[in-house]
Structure 1
Amino acid sequence: MDPVTIGIAGGTGGMGQWFQNYFTQAGHAVRIAGRKTEVTYEDLVRDCDVVILSMPQKAAMAVAGRIGPAMREDQLLMDFCSQKAGIVAAMAGATRADVIGTHPMFGPSTASLAGQNIILCPARNSHNWLSWVERVFADGGAVVTRMEPEEHDRKMALAQSLKHFLTVSLARMLQTLDIRPDDAFLYATPIFRLNINLIGRLLAQDLSLYADLVSGNPQAPVVVDRFLAAMEESRRAFFSGDEQKAADYLTEIRKFFGDDFCKEALEETSRVIDAMYRS
């Protein structure tokens, strides 16, 4: 792959630093600009083939409107935001350059790109930058998937908004019960210990980011309501006093997921648990 020059706007943050290292190791030149750097966002437009917006969505939309009109048609404008409909539309409306919304489905503490999901939402591909983007990530072992921005946001309401909502809700319940992690670990199963550690993992990071991941996705309330309805259905199945009803409920769910998946999931989670205790 021929090297290109990549500019990361917001590159002083965690994800910007992560991808600076990744692109550099892949043989590309990388320039970084932030609010307090001497290099400006306009410098990236002038000097780079690819400009990536690595910042919260509201800021990214503003920067896209600021630098987009100055970009050439043969350049590429990307973003790393967690939602796509708004930012992809903003980028496409601000520039004549190619536009590809990009969502790395991992955080800056990840050791390697191998096996990680990256979702692409291309809006304009007049100069075939899409093939380059897919290749540069696939070369690192990523699983690259194309989606429409609206579909992406619906799926993120499940994969991110609901997941983090559940983690925060469990944390709140433990707080109201005055149950500290050190105490809970004394009687925790491996899965419960992992769930508690996921609470700590979330709280150790940028809380404003997680607040936005839950409340900033307009699809999230619908998904949360569906989960609450499913939770109520589960409550009725398990606490009706009818043990057979509970067993039938679980059997019906298992049929949906299939025996092959369930066996594979058991094996994979067992490896995770073994690794957790070995460390």
Structure 2
Amino acid sequence: MPLASKPLLGIIGGAGRMGRWFKHRFEAEGYEVLVADKGTPFSNQDLARRCDVIFLSVPMSAFQEVVQEVGPLLSQDQGLIDFCSLKKVQNELMLKHCPQAEIVAAHPLFGPGEDSLRGRKVALWPSRGRRWFDWFREFLTTKGAEVVLVSPEEHDRIMAIVQVINHFMLLALGNLMDDSGLPLEKIKDLATPSFERQLEIVARFADQDPYL
């Protein structure tokens, strides 16, 4: 079945920071985007029944419940794409509870503080089907993103090094500065260029959603 020129998109958890970030980027390209979240007029099931592609931008603690709710409602013509920072278990849950729709495992390797997709990396894997995977990959690359094709299993092994160790180092730096009792502005006054870059990274890290 050929793709509609502008498929209707839905973001479950679209009121969160990452959900809003992608909503704005899709809308800037002329897509209509429906959002299901607390206080929105649409429910998760509304999106499952109406949208061509459903994005899951929910905390990992709520992921299984949401997939069990919407997965059985999706047809083979629809796509389900998640944004979780871990992939293996989440991918298995989507395949199990969503027997018909196409499945794409996605991990944006950046936070909602970025200005655009240009130069940013997104891990992708076509878990079932190619149509919506190809559509999303084209959207990302057209906006300047670098798509990294990686299986959920390999993704999680790599992220155990990249993300966990990186987060540990940033937390340690933040805690050391906090324990010093020195005002941040005083530290910045004597910061070298390389340390200033580290401070910028710590600030972006502190701004990210820890639950995705």
Same fold per superposition (TM over 0.5): yes
Partner of 2:75, secondary structure, is coil
| Identical aligned residues as a percent | 35
Equivalent in the alignment of 2:128: 124
Alignment coverage as a number of residue pairs:
208
State the distance in 1 between where 2:188 and 2:71 align: 51
Partner of 1:52, secondary structure, is strand
State the distance in 1 between where 2:171 and 2:199 align: 10
State the distance in 1 between where 2:174 and 2:135 align: 42
Equivalent in the alignment of 2:156: 153
Equivalent in the alignment of 1:199: 202
* Aligned residues: CA RMSD: 1.8
Q: Which deviates the most, 182-191 or 63-72?
A: 182-191
Q: Where do residues 202-221 of structure 1 align in structure 2 (5 Å cutoff)?
A: 202-206=205-209, 209=210
Q: Deviations over 1:84-128 (max 9, x none)?
A: 111111111111211001111112221111111111122111x62
Partner of 2:144, secondary structure, is coil
Q: Deviations over 1:29-88 (max 9, x none)?
A: 211110221200100011101001011122122201111011111110111111111111
State the distance in 1 between where 2:169 and 2:151 align: 26
Equivalent in the alignment of 1:190: 193
Partner of 1:35, secondary structure, is coil
Aligned residues of 2:48 and 2:70 also touching (Cα < 8 A):
yes
Residues 1:44 and 2:47 aligned together: yes
State the distance in 1 between where 2:118 and 2:179 align: 39
Q: Which deviates the most, 133-142 or 43-52?
A: 133-142
Partner of 1:60, secondary structure, is helix
Equivalent in the alignment of 1:111: 115
State the distance in 1 between where 2:162 and 2:21 align: 22
Q: Compare relative contact order (CA 8 Å, sep 6+) and give the higher one, 1 or 2.
A: 2
Residues 1:12 and 2:27 aligned together: no
Partner of 1:31, secondary structure, is strand
Equivalent in the alignment of 2:88: 85
Partner of 1:73, secondary structure, is coil
* 1:26 Cα deviation from its structure 2 partner: 2.0
Partner of 2:42, secondary structure, is coil
Equivalent in the alignment of 2:78: 75
Q: Deviations over 1:195-244 (max 9, x none)?
A: 233333333444xx0xx68xxxxxxxxxxxxxxxxxxxxxxxxxxxxxxx
Equivalent in the alignment of 1:32: 35
Give the structure with higher Rg (CA): 1
Aligned residues of 2:63 and 2:90 also touching (Cα < 8 A):
yes
Q: Quickly say closer, same or farther: Cα 1:177–1:109, change in 2 above 3 A.
A: closer
Q: Which deviates the most, 172-181 or 131-140?
A: 172-181
Give the letter for the 1:162 counterpart. I
TM-score when normalising by structure 1: 0.70
State the distance in 1 between where 2:195 and 2:114 align: 23
Unaligned runs of 5+ in 2: none
Q: Which has the higher helix share?
A: 1
